[in-house]
Structure 1
Amino acid sequence: MEREGIMMSSMLPNDKNNRKSPLSEPFRDLIKSMNDLFTDKPMRGFLQTIDEFFKTPFPTAAGFHVETVETGKEYIISAELPGVKKEQIQLNITGNYLTISVENSELETEENELTQVYRRKYFRQHAARTISLPHAINEKLVRASYRDGLLQIHIPQEKGKVIDIEE
């Protein structure tokens, strides 16, 4: 009987002989993950990541944010393109589709005559978004502006011809 009493008391969380508390079991992995987060050195430092962003702020292949607003008289399409130059943007209209394309091509060369190392890197990045409107777009009436990383395109809404229905 005493043996059973000892075993029962060793199962209590406050027992000094019990090194593993049943209450801490579910939290062990969480606490270990938190400790690893603060003690392990990240693969890339936070500041290095920020520096890389500002070196190449070009939108990634995943795309860029585009918003379309209908005012009743026109459609206003806004695209956020931080760090992109006006020359890198191309607008293409086909029927009722507007495609915004952004392309960045850079050639980077590095020469070191002391070590005789020559490097040449060619970067090409491309992103595009296509917006569909409910009617054909008259490209002669479209206005576009680009300031401070924000592209705005104004497309007037055209009213179609109304057809009377006979009885």
Structure 2
Amino acid sequence: MSEKLPEEPGKSFFHEPFQDFFRSMNEIFQERPVKGFLQGIDDFFASPFPISGFPVHLSESDNHYIITAKLSGIKKDQIDIGIFEKHITITVENKESVSKEDETQNSIFKKNSFQRTSKTIPLPTPIKEEKVRANYEDGLLTIKIPKEKGKRLKIE
């Protein structure tokens, strides 16, 4: 004699082995401490300071390599350009300090943040740093590197 369990409309007859596990995980993520932690992570990655990555483009003309980087919202003093033997590194930094005092509640709020991002652009030839020129205007950084011409060897 087989006994059949009553079925509810829209429900499966069999019990899903992970159903309770998934339900408890959903409850954990809806609780306040975890939800606040996850919101903090979201706020970190949604930072208004646009240096989490910036587009860089390398092109070349007959006499120069031209590197352009879009850095809208960045001040000139936040940009550092490093010149190495066969590559250039563009680094952007943001240091921010906020301090608020509330004398009625005897509390002090301080927030210090530091963000840095950089991009390294490799070049096929050695760079003569004294000939490199950079210009920053309207959020666009342009770096011009002259191409060095080597000596030609005559084949015998």
Q: Scaled by the length of structure 1, what TM-score is found?
A: 0.64
In structure 1, the gaps of 5 or more residues are 1-18, 21-43
What is the CA RMSD across the aligned residues, in angstroms? 2.0
Q: Give the residue type in structure 2 aligned to 1:59.
A: I
Matched, 1:155 2:154: no
1:66 Cα offset (Å): 0.0
Q: Percent identity?
A: 42
Residue 89 of structure 1 contacts residue 100 of structure 1 at CA under 8 Å; is this kept in 2?
yes
Match of 1:95 among 68, 82, 85: 85
1:106 Cα offset (Å): 1.1
Q: Scaled by the length of structure 2, what TM-score is found?
A: 0.68
- Please give the per-residue CA displacement for 1:61-114, whole angstroms capped at 9, x wherever unaligned: xx2100011111111100011111100100111101100001111111111111
Matched, 1:139 2:124: no
Aligned to 2:49: 57
1:165 Cα offset (Å): 2.2
Aligned to 1:80: 70
Aligned to 1:71: 61
- Partner Cα distance (1:159, 1:64) in 2: 31
3-state SS of paired residue (1:87): helix
Residue 69 of structure 1 contacts residue 77 of structure 1 at CA under 8 Å; is this kept in 2?
yes
Aligned pairs, number: 116
3-state SS of paired residue (2:77): helix
Q: Give the residue type in structure 2 aligned to 1:96.
A: K
Q: Give the residue type in structure 2 aligned to 1:65.
A: P
Larger radius of gyration, structure 1 or 2?
Answer: 1
1:164 Cα offset (Å): 1.7
Q: Give the residue type in structure 2 aligned to 1:156.
A: P
- Please give the per-residue CA displacement for 1:132-154, whole angstroms capped at 9, x wherever unaligned: 11111111111101011110001
1:57 Cα offset (Å): 3.2
Aligned to 1:117: 107
3-state SS of paired residue (1:90): strand
- Partner Cα distance (2:149, 2:114) in 1: 41
Aligned to 1:3: none
